[in-house]
Amino acid sequence: METCINLNDLNKWFGSFQVLDSINLSISTAEKVVICGPSGSGKSTLIRCVNALEPFQSGSVNVCGISVEKNGRNATDIQRRVGMVFQQFNLFPHLSVLKNCTLAPCRVLGLSDDEAGAKAMHYLERVRIPEQASKYPADLSGGQQQRVAIARALTMEPELMLFDEPTSALDPEVVTEVLDTMVDLAETGMTMICVTHEMGFAKQVADRVVFMDEGKIIEIATPEKFFSEPTHERTQFFLSRVLG
Amino acid sequence: MRERRGKEFYVLAIFFTVFVIFLYGPVSAILILSFQGPNGGLTFPMNGVSIHWFFALFGEQLVGDFKAAFLRSLQLGLVVMVVTIFVSVLTGLAFRKKFFGSTFLFYTTVSSLIVPSILVSLGIGLLYNLMEWEAAWYSSGMGAHLTWTLPFGFLIMIAVFNRFDRSYEEAAKDLGASNWQTIRYVVLPIIAPSLIGVALFGFTLSYDEFARTLMTSGVKNTLPLEIFGMTTNVTTPTLYALGTLTTIFSLVVILTAMGIVFYMQKRRERFGTDAGKGV
């Protein structure tokens, strides 16, 4: 299978604190990987290194055949190919939903307003929210905002999608609508890395589950194996807490 | 049943009333006296009502050169405004990160607000004298104004960027935006209302700046200096007419700024509905 992401001996420090400790991970095209672990374990930092939002000190990050430079000099090349959905949605507050989705296609890809608009509506329909196109982010619920954020990322037609705890900031009753959208997306064959605590989603969608703690990858396994017979003690402890 | 108001309500109410009278009383007196009749003097009672003194203001009998001074102040204010916005946005962006000497630079910049204005003015005037440069409102005067407006603009921008959520920039970056595109299409539009505030602030601080201009404007006066000069040698209500006009001008500036903000909001709403109709 074709490799989409390859992380080789990746290390990152914030000052003297090591957030990522010798990370090795390879992800194939169309693969769905869920990363979980206690907070502060480096999950978010890891995926932020994948789309060059964070610099790193040693090791290599290879995304879509491009090697990410440590200082992030070729960040834009990577970021055009990688879509990201943030915990806090990060929709542009000064633009309508539609404009949020057309800004990048117009300015970065150079599409005309009409082309970008058509594309944006296509993806807004896909996340089942086209009727909100004229509204502003502040007028939408958290779940709706997050679906718009997914549509916005998709308008750039990324080769892979990163999700950084996409449901953690949501009210419980709207978590499902976002997860359903992500399941739909997974079915289209998109390569996905999701940092999430939604273990149901991991069981349903993930090809592999990665468990991280203190900046290290502790365990990588298929969901069946991960949830039924985790090998590492720390994984067992984590699962006992998350699954209750 | 309405809640009984405490003693502090009445104390504050009286204080506020006195404050309002103190603030608007003199201005209203000038406003009223500027409509003094042709034979009226500088004080009450009114001797008829007319707009005679407004015409006199533009007539030739006037001692001061009010129109030229106004134009100078207007041009100076606009240039100072533009420079202030430009520089304070850039410094605000720079100060989001710690860099070598940033604390020192911060305090040296802000200390300009603490130094008595007249000393700044005197210093610049002396420097120009020493260097044998000719002081003028558009060179030394502009520099003096910037020592006043830039620290203010800078402080406002620091506050603005402190509140600015950098995650918007991350979202823009992730969508493939270059640094410039991120600034142009995401950061600047989000902070636009604050920029209008900085603009208004920069302009009005310059427009009515007196002390820092005193020693730096060279041979030609800005409007505040001209008005001050006129108080000593104009003995007719023309002076009040001028006061009324400049006050109206300031109000127009403020209303224009508010109008722009209002227009931006309206446009936002309108574009919002347009998008829904597929226009």
pLDDT at B64: 64
Which among A53, A134, A153 has CB closest to B272?
A134
Per-residue model confidence as pLDDT tens digits over B178-232: 999 999 999 999 998 889 889 988 998 999 888 899 888 888 888 888 888 887 8
Rounded Cα distance between B53 and B47, Å, is: 13
pLDDT at B268: 67
Q: Which residues pair with A192 in a beta bridge?
A: A32, A161
Q: Is B45 on the interface with A (CB under 8 A)?
A: no
> Which long-range contacts (C-beta less than 8 Å, at least 24 apart) are formed by B47-53?
B53/B236, B53/B237, B53/B238, B53/B240, B53/B241
Q: Which of these, A64, A86, A46, lies nearest to A157 by C-alpha position? A: A64
Higher-pLDDT residue of B53, B123: B123
Rounded Cα distance between A231 and A47, Å, is: 24
Q: What are the tokens at A129?
A: 């929210």
| pLDDT band at residue B171 under the 50/70/90 scheme | very high
Enter the CATH code of domain B64-233: 1.10.3720.10
B265, pLDDT greater than 80: no
| pLDDT band at residue B275 under the 50/70/90 scheme | very low
Count of pairs with CB atoms under 8 A, one residue in A, one in B:
82
B273, pLDDT greater than 70: no
Backbone torsion region of residue A52, taken as left when φ is above 0, otherwise alpha when ψ lies between -120 and 50, otherwise beta: left
Q: Is B30 on the interface with A (CB under 8 A)?
A: no
pLDDT at B254: 85
Q: Kindly tell me the sign of the dihedral angle through the C-alpha atoms of A88, A93, A95, A96.
A: positive
Rounded Cα distance between B221 and B142, Å, is: 13
Per-residue model confidence as pLDDT tens digits over B215-227: 888 888 888 888 8
Q: Is B186 on the interface with A (CB under 8 A)?
A: yes
Residues 6+ apart with CB under 8 A from B105: none
Q: What are the tokens at B194?
A: 């604050």
The mean pLDDT value for B244-251 works out to 86
Neighbours of B243 (CB within 10 A): 21
pLDDT along chain A (244 residues), means of 10: 88 92 93 92 93 91 89 86 93 93 93 94 93 92 94 94 93 90 92 92 93 93 91 90 78
Is A108:A156 a contact under the CB 8 Å cutoff? yes
Residue A197 parent element (H or E): none
Rounded Cα distance between B39 and B138, Å, is: 39
Q: What are the tokens at B225?
A: 């200096």
B65, pLDDT greater than 90: no
Measured between CA atoms, the residue of chain A closest to residue B277 is: A134
Which among A108, A133, A135 has CB closest to B175?
A108
B276, pLDDT greater than 60: no
Q: In chain A, which residues have their Cβ closer than 8 Å to the Cβ of B272?
A: 96, 134-136
SS3 assignment, position B16: helix
| pLDDT band at residue B277 under the 50/70/90 scheme | very low
Contact (CB<8Å) B185/A103: yes
pLDDT at B270: 60
Q: In chain B, which residues have their Cβ closer than 8 Å to the Cβ of A138?
A: none
Per-residue model confidence as pLDDT tens digits over B94-136: 999 889 999 999 999 888 888 899 999 999 999 998 998 988 8
| pLDDT band at residue B279 under the 50/70/90 scheme | very low
Rounded Cα distance between A85 and A150, Å, is: 6
* Residue listed under structure tokens 């709403």: B269
B264, pLDDT greater than 80: no
Rounded Cα distance between B177 and A80, Å, is: 8
**CB-based burial label for B279 (10 Å; 0-12, 13-18, 19+):** exposed
Contact (CB<8Å) A108/B176: yes
Q: What are the tokens at A205?
A: 């969608």
* Residue listed under structure tokens 């001797």: B47
Is B177:A107 a contact under the CB 8 Å cutoff? yes
Q: Which of these, B154, B125, B122, B159, lies nearest to B139 by C-alpha position? A: B125
Q: Which of these, A32, A22, A26, A12, lies nearest to A182 by C-alpha position? A: A32
Rounded Cα distance between A78 and A72, Å, is: 9
* Residue listed under structure tokens 């009286």: B14
Q: In chain A, which residues have their Cβ closer than 8 Å to the Cβ of B174?
A: 51, 53, 79, 82-84, 153
Rounded Cα distance between A150 and A157, Å, is: 11
Contact (CB<8Å) A94/B170: no
**CB-based burial label for B220 (10 Å; 0-12, 13-18, 19+):** middle
Distances B190 to A85, A120, B164, B185, B222 between C-alpha atoms, Å:
20, 22, 9, 9, 35
Identify from B175, B261, B274 which residue to disrupt to test chain A contact, counting A C-beta atoms within 10 A and taking the largest count: B175
Which among A88, A136, A152 has CB closest to B167?
A88
Q: In chain A, which residues have their Cβ closer than 8 Å to the Cβ of B270?
A: none
Domain locations along chain B: 64-233
The two most distant CA atoms of chain A are separated, in Å, by 55
Mean pLDDT for all residues in chain B: 86
Backbone torsion region of residue A157, taken as left when φ is above 0, otherwise alpha when ψ lies between -120 and 50, otherwise beta: left
Q: Which of these, B169, B174, B186, B184, lies nearest to A77 by C-alpha position? A: B174
pLDDT at B230: 80
